[in-house]
Amino acid sequence: MRIGKPDIAVEGNTVVYRTEIESEDGHRELWFRIDAEFGDLVTDTCDAPLVGLLIPAMAAGEDIHLSGAISERLYYNLSAPCQSVFRNVIPTLRAISLRPSELLPGRKPAAGVAAGFTGGIDSFCVLADHHYSPDCPEGFRLTHLVLNNVGSHGHGAEGTALFEERCARLTPVAERTGLPLVRVDSNLDSFYGEGLGFLQTHTPRLLSAALVLQRGLGRYISASTFNYSDVYVGPARGTGLTEPITLPLLSTEVIDLLSVGHIYTRPEKTIKVAEIADSYEVLDVCMKSGSRNCSQCKECLRTLITLDIAGLLDRYSDRFYIDKYRANRNKLLARFLQNKPRRGALRREVLEFAKKSNWRIPLSVYLNARRYRIGNTARKKLRWLKRIAQHTGKKRSDGRV
Least distance between Zn ion and beta carbon 283 (Å): 11
Q: Whose Cβ is closer to Zn ion: residue 298's or residue 373's?
A: 298
Count CB-CB contacts under 10 A for residue 374: 11
Least distance between Zn ion and beta carbon 118 (Å): 14
Least distance between Zn ion and beta carbon 329 (Å): 16
Q: Does 294 bind Zn ion (CB under 5 A)?
A: yes
| Piece of the chain touching Zn ion by CB under 5 A; list 96-104, 170-178, 238-246, 290-298 | 290-298
Least distance between Zn ion and beta carbon 290 (Å): 8
Q: Whose Cβ is closer to Zn ion: residue 177's or residue 225's?
A: 225
| Piece of the chain touching Zn ion by CB under 5 A; list 211-219, 278-286, 313-321, 393-401 | 278-286
Residue 63 C-beta-side C-alpha neighbours within 13 Å: 6
Residue 234 C-beta-side C-alpha neighbours within 13 Å: 3
Least distance between Zn ion and beta carbon 111 (Å): 38
Residue 364 C-beta-side C-alpha neighbours within 13 Å: 4
Helices and strands counted in the chain (H then E): 13, 11
| Piece of the chain touching Zn ion by CB under 5 A; list 45-53, 299-307, 315-323, 392-400 | 299-307
Q: Taking each helix axis from N to C terminus, what angle separates 72-79 and 81-89, rounded to the nearest 10 degrees?
A: 40
29, 1, 199, 210 alpha-carbon torsion, rounded to 10°: -60
Q: Does 90 bind Zn ion (CB under 5 A)?
A: no
Least distance between Zn ion and beta carbon 246 (Å): 28
Q: Does 74 bind Zn ion (CB under 5 A)?
A: no
Number of residues that bind Zn ion (CB under 5 A): 4
Q: What is the DSSP letter of 339?
A: S
11 with 29: CB under 8 angstroms? no
Q: Whose Cβ is closer to Zn ion: residue 286's or residue 332's?
A: 286
| Piece of the chain touching Zn ion by CB under 5 A; list 79-87, 155-163, 221-229, 298-306 | 298-306
Which three-class secondary structure state does DSSP give residue 26? Answer: strand
Q: Whose Cβ is closer to Zn ion: residue 28's or residue 288's?
A: 288
Closest CA to 286 of 119, 43, 104: 119
Query: Which phi-psi region, left, alpha or beta, contains residue 14 (left: φ > 0; alpha: ψ -120 to 50)?
Result: beta
Q: Does 162 bind Zn ion (CB under 5 A)?
A: no
Q: Whose Cβ is closer to Zn ion: residue 85's or residue 294's?
A: 294
Q: Taking each helix axis from N to C terminus, what angle separates 266-273 and 298-310, rounded to the nearest 10 degrees?
A: 70
Q: Whose Cβ is closer to Zn ion: residue 245's or residue 312's?
A: 312
Closest CA to 82 of 100, 98, 106, 103: 98
Least distance between Zn ion and beta carbon 170 (Å): 17
Q: Does 286 bind Zn ion (CB under 5 A)?
A: yes
93 φ/ψ angles, rounded to the nearest 5 degrees: -70, 150
Q: Does 300 bind Zn ion (CB under 5 A)?
A: yes
Q: Whose Cβ is closer to Zn ion: residue 252's or residue 293's?
A: 293
Q: Does 174 bind Zn ion (CB under 5 A)?
A: no
| Piece of the chain touching Zn ion by CB under 5 A; list 89-97, 131-139, 293-301, 315-323 | 293-301
| Piece of the chain touching Zn ion by CB under 5 A; list 24-32, 152-160, 237-245, 286-294 | 286-294
Residues 6+ apart with CB under 8 A from 188: 30, 32, 52, 150, 151, 205, 208, 209
Residues 6+ apart with CB under 8 A from 317: none
Q: Whose Cβ is closer to Zn ion: residue 50's or residue 283's?
A: 283
* Footprint on residues 320-349 left by Zn ion (CB under 5 A): none
Which chain residues interact with Zn ion by CB under 5 A?
Answer: 286, 294, 297, 300
